[in-house]
Amino acid sequence: MAAPANPGEAYGRRLARLKAAVALEKPDRTPVISWSDAFCANHIGAPMSRFSSELMYSAEVTARSFELLPGFDAAEMAVAEPDWVAAVFLSKMKIAGRDLPEGAPWMVDEQERMTEADYDVIAQRGWFGFFVPWAKEHLGVDVPSYVPQSIAARMEGTKRLAALGIPTFTIALGGGTPLEALSAGRTMARFVRDIHRMPDRVQAAMDATHPQMIGIIKQAIRESPVKPFSVFIGLARSSPEFWGPKLWERFVWPYMKSMIEAIVEEGVVANLHFDSCWDRELPRLREFPKGSCVFACDHATDIRLAKKILGDRMCIKGDVPSALLAFGTPDQVRAYCKALIADMGDGFILSPACTMPANAKLENVMAMIEAVEA
């Protein structure tokens, strides 16, 4: 399928639709977007091994997949970076062709790679003083040489999509809470034990990490050749499903709050990609300025409850279930999406819960796209 005759016009129309949804205004119709990820490789028959390991190739494949699905209003991400995503979480990724059979989607290989003593190292040297040498030694990732490659690939992917008239919805800059990285580096069980046994050491590491993370994200937004529409904050283990109110108030909320505020201060939308169930703490998200955030939920949070509590404060995005996209029928997908669109009203973006599953049926993806048409 060729690019639209006027990609600039198509880009502007789609972007206006997204902006209206985020601003809680009335768009011409509900926007539909996707973080298509490994699905793109399967969709166009690209080898998963290459898609998982070559940044520029993943940008090319992602754009080709979206070119074949012009009903999407945006690509959530322009490039797949599994090794980097794992590194940011102090982990390694298993990927096709290297650790897994060809065709298998990547998955995090969580091991206890970070020690108790590393909390003190982080507290003394700061996050980057710890992370840069640690990543090289334990993960084989050379951060100074990787980052420019990553930026170049993101720009290339964004450019390819824009040439097709498709905006890129968000950019991932490693934003999250320190808890996400530390709990993955220690493993969840060890980290929970650390929180109970040595809470002050854990907090000292978090306090040394967080200002640096905020600083680098603000710098990246300012220096980005193209101002991003939104910046991604990915949280899963920070979810209230894991932590009671007392621990959540101490080890999650202050960090996520200041991270979100920092992004919003830069004039960029905060894309709150919050996995697991956030029902208990939804009222807290009302503290952020109206129209400054998108709450993206993965079907574990009650999306209709989110609408009720947050609907007059922020746009909500979600939540077509992975299992439905992979194993349902087009009629089931259509019915789910239509009901969701009717219930959510304005200030809503239709998207898969989390990422598009790698094995989503194409006819189900089409049904999801078609559901936004009246």
In the complex, which residues of this chain contact another protein (CB under 8 A)? Answer: 94, 100-101, 104-105, 107-110, 187-189, 192-193, 195-197, 240-244, 247, 298-300, 321-328, 353, 357-360
Residue 82 · residue 95 · CB < 8 Å: yes
- Please, which residue, 147 or 323, has the CB nearer to another protein? 323
Closer residue to another protein (CB): 266 or 302: 302
CB of 56 to another protein, least distance (A): 25
Residue 324 structure tokens: 């439905």
* Residue 207: CB minimum distance to another protein, A: 20
CA distance 19 to 26: 10
Nearer to another protein, 100 or 121 (CB): 100
Which 3-state string (H, E, C) describes 5-57? CCHHHHHHHHHHHHHHHHCCCCCCCCCEEECCCHHHHHHHCCCHHHHHHCHHH
Query: Given the complex with another protein, which of 46 and 263 has the nearer CB atom?
Result: 46
The DSSP code sequence of 195-220 is HHH-HHHHHHHHHHHHHHHHHHHHHH
**Joined tokens for residue 114:** 């970070």
Burial tier of 197 (Cβ tally within 10 Å: 0-12, 13-18, 19+):
exposed
- Minimum CB–partner distance for residue 254 and another protein (Å): 17
Query: Measured from the CB of residue 124, what is the shortest distance to another protein in angstroms?
Result: 27
Query: Least distance in Å: CB of 354 to another protein?
Result: 8
CA distance 137 to 140: 6
Cβ closest to another protein, residue 187 vs residue 224: 187
Helix (H, G, I), strand (E, B) or coil at 171: strand
Shortest Å, Cβ 13 to another protein: 32
Residue placing its CB nearer to another protein in the complex, 94 or 159: 94
Count of residues in the chain: 374
Rounded least distance, CB 84 to another protein, Å: 19
DSSP codes joined into one string, 238-282: TSTTTS-HHHHHHHTHHHHHHHHHHHHHTT-EEEEEE-S--GGGG
Q: Least distance to another protein from the beta carbon of 255, Å?
A: 16
Nearer to another protein, 187 or 258 (CB): 187
Question: Comparing C-alpha atoms, which of 327, 341, 328, 345 is closest to residue 369?
Answer: 341
**Closer CB to another protein, residue 3 or residue 189?**
189
CA distance 14 to 165: 8
Count CB atoms within 10 A of the CB of residue 351.
26
CA-wise closest residue to 75 among 158, 136, 16, 1: 158
Nearer residue to another protein within complex by CB, 18 or 358: 358
Q: How far is the CB of 87 from another protein (least distance, A)?
A: 17
For residue 180, the SS3 value is: helix
